[in-house]
Every structure is written in structure tokens, then in C-alpha cells.
Amino acid sequence: MEIIWYHPSQAPDRWLAGLRQRLPQANVRYWQPGDTAPADYAIVRSPPIEMLAGRPLKGVFAMGAGVDEILKQLRAHPEMLADDVPLFRLEDTGMARQMQEYANWCVLGWFRRFADYRQQQQQAHWQPLDTADRADFTIGVLGAGVLGSSVLESLRQWGFPLRCWSRSAKQIDGVQTFHGRDQLDAFLDGTQVLIDLLPTTPETTNLIDEKFLRVLPQGAFFLNLARGAHVVEADLLAALNSGQLAGAALDVFQTEPLPAYHPLWSHPHVTLTPHTAAITLPGEAMDFIAGAILALEQGDQPGGLVDRQRGY
């Protein structure tokens, strides 16, 4: 079994050693330009076209939960990967726990008004603040996949009303569910904290714009843990400046790294992190990929198979 590995910025040593340990029957190598030797599987992040084009691969594994980057490459260069080569993404591999941590930190911080207390501290001002009624502090999650469902489950313990919107109908215990474009406004109306965990597709690109944000109640909060492509950033800034949004926590952006001149850096009601809400954990990722390769070798279908038409 021949496996090729490529990442544009990570050193290969840890991955190659870990994959060889988990798949001792395989020859795992770091792909470099000019390598045209046979391969059965590819494990990739931002692969060069020549790495995959023309190879009769049994499977390609993306080193992340999102595959919008590689799908964008395929739209521009369809010859890069044959239609019959299955593409897989990481379904969890430790990312769900990280998303839970981030979401709970933001939700509880907004509910308990910790940012307001921080501002008072800077002014040496002692003043207890009122908090919202828990029953009115509705949390809405965009996306009901593995990560969205996990975040909802982690928020259940705090007793907030929970709701979720997805492309197709879902049933989640203890969660009010909405689906389809026709139910999007009903989902947004009354959502005090909006958490984006949607995949990136043509339908979700620039979804969160002025019209979208206007449906949320005045003074709502927005948390983006998904992709910056979902948000029209000028409209987001306008909503923050007008008070339509009371605050936002953003881990992803239209352009990354976020340019130094961008007004989001200095906005008083915005918290930024550099796309680190849930990083790929090599050990867990290698366990998943090795298990998936063994399943394919035995004729089974592992999880994480991407529907290229749907985009996830």
C-alpha cells in the first residue's frame, strides 16, 4: 500500500512517523514535486494539482473538517481529481471538544456580561450589572452536523433555550429545529446568540449580510466558528456600529490572515482569534485516517465521505 502526504506549511516528520506506526503494512512518503510514483491514498492540505492529477487513487483525505479549499481547487481544475475518487474529511478527531470550549466561553461571557465588567475594571468603576433572563437568552446554531450538534449538546447544561437551523430537517432532543430557506427568518427571530457552524457552499457564501442580521433581535451576539466566506464583513461592521449586534466573536475571516488595517482588529465589541477555534490534532486525525484506510481496504465505507455537489 502506497500513501503520499502533503501539507504546505507543516513539517512531515511527525505525520509520516505516526502513519507508519499505525499502518506498518504501508509505505508512507512525503510528496514532493516530480514524484509520479504510484500511490493508493493521498493525505493532503492545499495539494498542488500535479500531486493528484491523473492518479488512480482509492481515496483522498483532507486534513481538516472543512473541504471548501480543495473543492475550490477542483472547480478551477476539475482534472485534479477524478469523479470516482472518494474524498474524505475529518468528522471530529478532537475538534468538537474545542468548538464546545469556545462556544461555551463566549455564550457564558455574554450572558454574564464579563466584557462590560472588564470595561468597568479599566475605569475603576464598581457597579453590579443586571443580566438577561435565562429563558430569554436563546442560543441558535446554524448547522446541525457533527460539530453543530456537539456544540448544542454542550450548551444544554446551562438551561438556555436552544434552537438549530439546517439545510434539511433534523430532530435533536431538547432543541427547537428549523430547516430550509423558508424557515430561516423564523429561526433568526428571537435568537439572542447566533453561532455559525455551517459548511461553505455556494448557498452559504455571503449568507450573513445586512438583511440576515436585521432579523435578529436588537442587541444580539454573533459567533463565527465556521468560515469567513459566510459573512459580508461590511454589513457585520455596520450592525455592530448601529447596535443591532451587541458583540461578536470571530475566528474566521474573508481574508486570512486578517489584514493589519482591517477595522475588525480595533472594534471595541469584537473578539478575534486567528482561526484556532478547533485545530487539527495530529494524533486523533491519524487514528481516524488510518482506520478509514483499513476500512476501505476491507471493502467497507468509513465516515467523512464528502458529497462534492453539496460541498461537505
Look at the block and give the residue holding cell 461537505. Answer: 312
Q: What residues form DSSP beta bridges with 179? A: 166
Query: What is the Cα–Cα distance from 152 to 190, expressed in whole angstroms?
Result: 17
User: Which residues make Cβ contacts (< 8 Å) with residue 269, sequence separation at least 6?
Assistant: 115, 240, 245, 246, 247, 248
Q: What residues form DSSP beta bridges with 29? A: 4
Q: Other CB atoms closer than 10 Å to residue 219's CB: what's the count?
A: 12
| DSSP result, 161-212 | -EEEEESS----TT-EEEESGGGHHHHHTT-SEEEE-PPP-TTTTT-BSHHH
Using CA atoms, how far residue 276 sits from 81, 99, 143, 279, 312, in Å, is 29, 10, 19, 6, 20
Supply 190's cell numbers.
Answer: 428571537
Phi, psi of 92 (to 5 degrees): -150, -80
User: Are 254 and 205 spatial neighbours (Cβ–Cβ below 8 Å)?
Assistant: no
Catalytically active residues, by annotation: 227, 275
Query: What is the Cα–Cα distance from 275 to 37, expressed in whole angstroms?
Result: 35
Query: What is the Cα–Cα distance from 202 to 227, expressed in whole angstroms?
Result: 13
Cis status of the peptide bond prior to 268, with omega within 30 of 0: no
